[in-house]
Amino acid sequence: MVRLMVNVGRYHKVSANHIVGAITGETGLSGKTIGKILVSEKSSYVDVPRQHVEHVLQSMQDCKIRGLKTSIQEVEG
């Protein structure tokens, strides 16, 4: 699994369900494919299988979550 960071969190009234919905809606992946999700104050972290990372990053480039433009990137380390 690879951890990705999304630039929205509890401050933006985003929940884990919003993150899963955005990823599954944009990529076509099953929600069961997605690993742990941690929603912090201003960002969220989601684990996805290594073989799907590039597809998720590319598909989520212009995605909005709760009407907010988001950015997503791989967390190093």
pLDDT tops 90 at residue 76: no
Q: Which of 49, 44, 43 is nearest to 29 (CA)?
A: 49
Q: Which residue has the tokens 């990372």?
A: 53
CATH number at residue 6: 3.30.70.330
The pTM of this model reads: 0.91
In whole angstroms, how large is the CA radius of gyration of the chain? Answer: 11
The total number of structural domains in the chain stands at: 1
Bridge partner residues of 14 (DSSP): none
What's the CA gap between 29 and 12, in Å, rounded?
24
**Structural domain span for residue 52:** 2-74
pLDDT in tens, 50-65: 999 999 999 999 899 9
